[in-house]
Amino acid sequence: MKKNDEFELEITGMTAEGNGVGHKDGMAVFVSNTAVGDTVLAHAIKVKKNYAVAKAMQIITPSADRVEVDCPVFNRCGGCVYRHISYDAELKIKQQKVDDAFRRIGGLDVTLQPIVGSAKTDFYRNKAQLPVGSEKDKVKVGFYSFHSHNIVDCGCCKLQPEVFSEIAEKFKSWAEENNISVYDEVTHKGLLRHLYIRGSKANKNISVCVVINGNTLPEADALWKAISSLGVTGLSININRDKTNVILGDTVKELYGKAYIEDSLLDTVFKISPLSFYQVNRDQTERLYSIAAEYAALTPETVLLDMYCGVGTIGLTMAKKVKELIGVEIVEPAIEDAKKNAALNSITNARFICGDASKAAEQLKKEGIKPDVIILDPPRKGCDEALIKTVAEMSPERIVYVSCDPATLARDCAVFATLGYNIAQKPDGTHLATPVDMFPRTAHVETVCLLSKLNTKHTQVY
């Protein structure tokens, strides 16, 4: 096979990133926007020694999983990968993705619980971070295309609430009418970098934050007038003057209203500032946290340690069921939010530590803190081995691991297994590991699992 060859290809599998896979001449061929069961006319665009990448020029025989694509920019935008197949088919792919990670990366024989699908597959996101660009004197606000920084301008993204798209359109018009400059990654000149929108449940309050390469936002009053008519309750700026792909800088300045939003999870109220992490699918977050609490099997005597606690969302939803909650987070604004959220909910048995997870865990161990349950909710890179070792040395009865990346979850669970902590089982032999689809139509999937030193099956969880 060589570049520009064309050939028929049957798609027999999917990658973790959502690309179809077929085989030709003993080589794996990866084709985007295809589905298992498709037969396509493939055009090779890259050929390496052991694999090739191709483009589907024609669907010769469509998969039974195919559905009509409902987004005009699906083939160009980097947001969704599964708008061309049914949601049931997507859930099967994600379940298999987690299963494959445990077996291939972790070397672990895990029988998962069924994936928890989302009731809403469209308009579910409560956050949008939209890059700003320009082309022929027109402002573009949208999403990066796959593996590039080319902005795809999408008038109505089906992942986010319709009001977010309306805000983006108002923002574009404001920028063009007032000749506000747009940031250029090459020259490091221009002002507008990103449009950052957050909304609460039913969008009762919406915060808009404009990320700028400067200190002030000209004509801010005109922007506020334009977007406040859409229900926006706060406008702020985030200052990011660094030559970086990191979206947010360290400084947020309120211009109108409040920079934070207020939302509720499992009867617990939270204030979330722009710099603080908050799950993007609120309804599925409640399902995820409910499973985590079930696995934690909390009692009034439980000492609960919540690592990577963010604004305290997981721990504070469980705080009233335990003796003491300790939260650890490296982002200082998030810790300040967590303390405020504890006070907001009249929770007095919680304390929060700002610091690196590994160092904080080591310090707690030195203090003689012996948590009964530890919750781990790390970023995509997972936990480092120093933290895993320290957590194991604290000897909790249970570790509830919440992961946004099956690969690093599997890797970390394999390390925990060498330290005596294995994924617990139900009496029927299946494991207490549940995929949760937090991000419909994208390739991402969340997983929550219970690790325990106990060899007996965990009948008390149910």
CATH of the domain at 62: 2.40.50.140
Question: What is the pLDDT, as a whole number, of residue 147?
Answer: 76
What residues have CB less than 8 Å from 187, skipping those under 6 apart?
Answer: none
d(CA 101, CA 110): 10
Please give the residue range of the domain that contains residue 231.
127-264
- The neighbour count for residue 188, using CB atoms within 10 Å, is 11
Question: In 15-109, where do the E strands start and end?
Answer: 20-24, 27-31, 39-47, 51-61
- The CA distance from 332 to 343, in Å, is 17
Q: Is the pLDDT of residue 11 over 70?
A: yes
Residue 82, in any domain of the structure: no
CATH for 384: 3.40.50.150
The verdict on 427 and 452 lying in the same domain is: yes
Same domain, 318 and 417: yes
Q: Which of 99-108, 284-293, 355-364, 418-427 has the lowest mean pLDDT?
A: 355-364
Both tokens assigned to 423: 């994924």
385-393 vs 357-366: helix axis angle to the nearest 10? Answer: 20
Q: Is residue 337 part of a domain?
A: yes
Q: Is the pLDDT of residue 56 over 60?
A: yes
The pLDDT tens digits of the residues spanning 175-219 come to 999 999 999 999 999 999 999 999 999 888 999 999 999 999 999
Cβ-Cβ contacts under 8 Å for 29 (sequence gap 6 or more):
9, 21, 22, 23, 42, 44, 51, 52, 53, 54
pLDDT reading at 78 higher than 90? no
pLDDT of residue 131: 95
In a domain, 76, yes or no: no
pLDDT category of residue 146 using cuts at 50, 70 and 90: confident
> Is residue 316's pLDDT more than 70?
yes
Same domain, 415 and 373: yes
What is the residue type of 420?
G
Residue 71 belongs to a domain: no
E-state strands within 243-287: 251-257, 261-265, 268-272
3-state secondary structure (DSSP) of residue 237: strand
Same domain, yes or no, for 167 and 18?
Answer: no
Both tokens assigned to 75: 């083939």
Q: Which two tokens stand for residue 319?
A: 């705080």
- Do 133 and 230 lie in one domain? The reply is yes
CATH number of the structural domain spanning residue 131: 2.40.50.1070
Reported confidence tier of residue 76, pLDDT bands at 50, 70, 90: confident
Residues 192 and 313 in one domain: no
How far apart (Å, rounded) are the C-alpha atoms in residues 423 and 454?
A: 10
Q: Choosing from 80, 209, 404, 413, which is the catalytic residue?
A: 404
Residue 154 designated active-site: no
Asked if the model's pLDDT at residue 461 lies above 90, the reply is: no
| pLDDT for res 119 | 96
**Helix (H), strand (E), coil (C) string for 144-160:** EECCCCCEEECCCCCCC
pLDDT for res 458: 46
* One domain, residues 145 and 217: yes
Position 338 pLDDT exceeds 70: yes
Express each pLDDT in 351-390 by its tens digit.
999 998 888 888 888 888 899 999 999 999 999 999 999 9
DSSP string over 67-125: -----TTTTTBSS-S-TTB-HHHHHHHHHHHHHHIIIIIS-----PPPPB--S--SS--
Residue 75 lies in a domain: no
Statement to judge: residues 230 and 306 lie in one domain: no
Arithmetic mean of pLDDT over the chain: 94
221-248 average pLDDT score: 96
Percent of the chain with pLDDT over 70: 98
Region 256-262: mean pLDDT is 95
HSE value, Cβ hemisphere, 13 Å, CA-based, for 405: 11
Contact 435, 101 (CB under 8 A): no
Closest CA to 212 of 186, 234, 182: 182
| Confidence (pTM) | 0.92
Where b means 16+ CB within 10 Å and e means fewer, 203-227 reads: bebbbbbbbbbbeebeebeebbebb
What local confidence, expressed as pLDDT, does residue 284 receive?
Answer: 97
- 324 with 366, same domain? yes
pLDDT at residue number 55: 95
Helix%, strand%, coil% for the chain, nearest 5? 25, 30, 45
Q: Confidence class of residue 454 from pLDDT cuts 50, 70 and 90?
A: low
pLDDT number for residue 462 = 41
